């Protein structure tokens, strides 16, 4: 009996010990959020609201082994900063215990301060247990961005020194480094120790802050493109308020993004055309920011010039000095576009319009208009014909939607009863719609035709056309002004 009792007692101890061991194993793999004490919260201009917590013991937080101590979380609950309590695999690289890490919201690393030299994405990255304050920096897609190498190394055939940071493009190509050997390239000879930068086409240049900044902003815009495209689609759907709210949130994190500033300018332009309180000054501030941060982008420069010309024409009767400033900005902008791309037909045509329609006191110049009109003949006969139409009669311009809007006013005034505006507008719109313009521009043109027909007294036909226009786009037919085609062109980096 005593023997049986002893055996049962021993079995209970062993079972309990096994149970405790199992629980301990489970504890080490479960999320230890319950072991955290919230210390405080604060707002960061880039990261938003950050919650600072104290982890009372080593454990798993959001599937990552974290060391006892301070742990920061994003407002949505994602892990932000921490120290690894054990080795952890990130994108097929084993990151050692003791590494100080900052994560993006998507879970990819932003910074890693390594306690020892570690192989990351094919490069031996320098680490120091006592001074892990020179972290490796990563792109939002997880690609290595900037790092200090443990030894001199070769990146894409370029000998790079471990004395300065090495920068990479998101796809792993070399962006910048200090040369560890003398190099001769097609662009020149570079001595050992020279700091060089590789452009997007792979050509080597002496390092320059301006070039580095422009390249980095273009890279950032590539990561922003998905979000900005979403705002672009909201705008096309007429939801400009929602589009602008999204863009302003993105701008808090990326205030100098050319793509963001350009799209924000276009949203404001669309709202301005819709009769809101937006101002040309506000629009042109954003176009100016886009150009300042990416001066070689044709789309940004052209749109800024278009806004300048529009503003000059609007201000001519109100404020001559402001009109002159806008006119100069527009003309300089078009000229800059043509320096970068001499066959940019729209810029050259707009220059013809600017030189013809503006008074000589603020930039008008008939001789220059004639010169640019002649240049267009070298590139395209249709564009040359439009330039000739503008040169001969600048009041009417060249855009069919503009003509349609003009005919609505003329039909409504009934000052020329001998003109059959319905027939003229019908023929012009049929020809224009045959060129397959974008849906918003189709809708505006059909909407104008509907108004002209309604003025003539045919309510039934007018209603049919109006429904057709609204089916194509529920917002553009209501515009009081003709919408520029730039509003509906695809996003351009």
The arithmetic mean of pLDDT across residues 135-147, rounded, is: 89
Does residue 9 surpass a pLDDT of 70?
no
pLDDT at position 336 is: 92
In the block, tokens 């705008």 appear at 235
Helix axes 381-392, 366-379, angle to 10 degrees: 160
The arithmetic mean of pLDDT across residues 233-250, rounded, is: 83
Which of 487, 493, 488 has the alpha carbon at shortest distance from 269?
A: 487
pLDDT at position 477 is: 65
- Give residue 359's Cα distance to chain centre: 37
Does residue 11 surpass a pLDDT of 50?
no
| Candidate from 1-10, 86-95, 120-129, 322-331 with smallest mean pLDDT | 1-10
Q: Which CATH superfamily is domain 217-392 in?
A: Tetratricopeptide repeat domain (1.25.40.10)
**Using CA atoms, how far apart are residues 308 and 433, in angstroms rounded to an integer?**
29
Strands (E), 134-215: 136-138, 144-147, 153-155, 158-160, 166-168, 174-178, 183-185, 188-190, 195-198, 204-206
**Using CA atoms, how far apart are residues 268 and 275, in angstroms rounded to an integer?**
11
Could you tell me which residues are beta bridge partners of residue 459? Answer: none
Would you say 149 and 176 are in contact if contact means Cβ atoms under 8 Å apart? no
Does residue 400 surpass a pLDDT of 70?
no
Would you say 64 and 71 are in contact if contact means Cβ atoms under 8 Å apart? no
* pLDDT band of 411, cuts 50, 70, 90: confident
Does residue 27 surpass a pLDDT of 80?
no
Would you say 41 and 49 are in contact if contact means Cβ atoms under 8 Å apart? yes
**Using CA atoms, how far apart are residues 65 and 87, in angstroms rounded to an integer?**
8
**Using CA atoms, how far apart are residues 224 and 218, in angstroms rounded to an integer?**
10
**Using CA atoms, how far apart are residues 182 and 204, in angstroms rounded to an integer?**
13
Specify which of 119-133, 148-162, 177-191 reaches the highest per-range mean pLDDT: 148-162
| Candidate from 47-61, 112-126, 212-226, 304-318 with smallest mean pLDDT | 212-226
pLDDT at position 420 is: 84
Q: Taking the model in full, what pTM does it have? A: 0.55
- Residue 290 burial (CB count, 10 A): 26
> What's the residue count for the chain?
493
Which of 106, 36, 103 has the alpha carbon at shortest distance from 67?
A: 36
What the block records as the tokens of 446 is: 């059909």
Would you say 163 and 173 are in contact if contact means Cβ atoms under 8 Å apart? no
Which of 492, 493, 451, 440 has the alpha carbon at shortest distance from 273?
A: 440
Taken in order 24, 25, 26, 29, is the CA torsion positive or negative? Answer: positive
To the nearest whole number, what is the mean pLDDT of the chain? 80
Segment (H or E) for 401: helix 400-413
For CATH 1.25.40.10, the residue range(s) in the chain are 217-392
Does residue 251 surpass a pLDDT of 50?
yes
pLDDT at position 76 is: 84
Does residue 72 surpass a pLDDT of 90?
yes
**Using CA atoms, how far apart are residues 438 and 442, in angstroms rounded to an integer?**
6
* pLDDT band of 358, cuts 50, 70, 90: confident
Does residue 4 surpass a pLDDT of 50?
no
| Candidate from 1-10, 180-189, 353-362 with smallest mean pLDDT | 1-10
Does residue 17 surpass a pLDDT of 60?
no
The arithmetic mean of pLDDT across residues 297-312, rounded, is: 90
391 or 158: which carries more pLDDT confidence?
158
Contacts of residue 290, Cβ cutoff 8 Å, sequence gap at least 6: 258, 259, 261, 262, 265, 297, 300, 304
pLDDT at position 314 is: 82
The arithmetic mean of pLDDT across residues 298-327, rounded, is: 87
Does residue 490 surpass a pLDDT of 60?
no
What the block records as the tokens of 382 is: 């249709």
Which of 275, 340, 260, 265 has the alpha carbon at shortest distance from 308?
A: 265
pLDDT at position 476 is: 64
Does residue 398 surpass a pLDDT of 80?
no
The arithmetic mean of pLDDT across residues 96-123, rounded, is: 91
Segment (H or E) for 339: helix 320-340
* pLDDT band of 480, cuts 50, 70, 90: low
What the block records as the tokens of 11 is: 């079995």
pLDDT at position 7 is: 42
What the block records as the tokens of 381 is: 């006969």
* pLDDT band of 14, cuts 50, 70, 90: very low
Segment (H or E) for 299: helix 298-315
3-state helix, strand, coil in the chain (%, to 5): 50, 20, 30
């Amino acid at each position: 009996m005593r023997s049986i009792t002893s055996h049962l007692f021993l079995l209970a101890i062993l079972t309990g010990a096994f149970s405790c061991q199992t629980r301990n194993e489970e504890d080490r793999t479960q999320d230890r959020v319950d072991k955290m004490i919230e210390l405080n919260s604060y707002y960061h201009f880039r990261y938003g609201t950050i919650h600072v917590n104290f982890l009372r013991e080593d454990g798993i937080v959001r599937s990552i082994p974290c060391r006892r101590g301070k742990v920061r979380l994003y407002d949505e609950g994602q892990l932000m900063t921490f120290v690894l309590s054990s080795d952890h695999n990130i994108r097929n690289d084993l990151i050692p215990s003791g590494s100080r890490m900052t994560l993006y919201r998507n879970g990819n690393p932003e910074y890693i301060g390594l306690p020892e030299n570690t192989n990351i994405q094919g490069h031996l990255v320098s680490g120091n247990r006592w001074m892990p304050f020179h972290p490796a920096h990563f792109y939002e897609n997880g690609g290595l961005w900037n790092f200090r190498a443990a030894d001199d190394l070769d990146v894409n055939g370029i000998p790079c020194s471990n004395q300065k940071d090495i920068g990479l493009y998101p796809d792993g190509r070399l962006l910048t480094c200090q040369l560890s050997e003398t190099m001769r390239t097609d662009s020149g000879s570079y001595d050992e120790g020279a700091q060089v930068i590789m452009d997007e086409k792979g050509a080597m240049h002496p390092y320059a802050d301006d070039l580095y900044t422009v390249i980095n902003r273009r890279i950032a815009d590539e990561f922003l493109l998905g979000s900005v495209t979403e705002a672009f689609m909201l705008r096309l759907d007429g939801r400009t308020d929602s589009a602008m709210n999204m863009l302003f949130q993105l701008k808090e994190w990326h205030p100098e993004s050319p793509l963001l500033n350009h799209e924000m300018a276009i949203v404001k332009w669309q709202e301005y055309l819709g009769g809101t309180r937006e101002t040309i000054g506000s629009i042109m501030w954003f176009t100016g920011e886009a150009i300042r941060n990416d001066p070689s982008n044709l789309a940004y420069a052209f749109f800024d010039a278009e806004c300048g010309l529009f503003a000059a024409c609007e201000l001519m009767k109100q404020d001559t000095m402001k009109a002159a400033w806008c006119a100069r900005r527009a003309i300089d902008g078009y000229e800059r576009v043509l320096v970068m791309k001499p066959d940019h037909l729209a810029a050259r045509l707009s220059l013809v319009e600017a030189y013809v329609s503006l008074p000589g006191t603020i930039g008008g110049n008939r001789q220059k208009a004639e010169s640019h009109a002649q240049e267009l003949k070298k590139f395209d006969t249709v564009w040359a014909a439009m330039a000739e139409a503008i040169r001969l009669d600048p009041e009417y311009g060249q855009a069919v939607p503009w003509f349609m809007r003009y005919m609505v006013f003329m039909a409504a005034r009934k000052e020329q009863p001998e003109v059959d505006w319905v027939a003229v507008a019908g023929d012009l719109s049929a020809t224009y719609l045959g060129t397959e313009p974008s849906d918003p521009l189709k809708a505006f043109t059909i909407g104008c035709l509907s108004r002209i027909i309604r003025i003539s007294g045919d309510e039934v036909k007018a209603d049919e056309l109006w429904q057709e226009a609204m089916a194509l786009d529920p917002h553009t037919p209501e515009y009081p002004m003709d919408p520029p085609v730039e509003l509906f062109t695809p996003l351009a980096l």
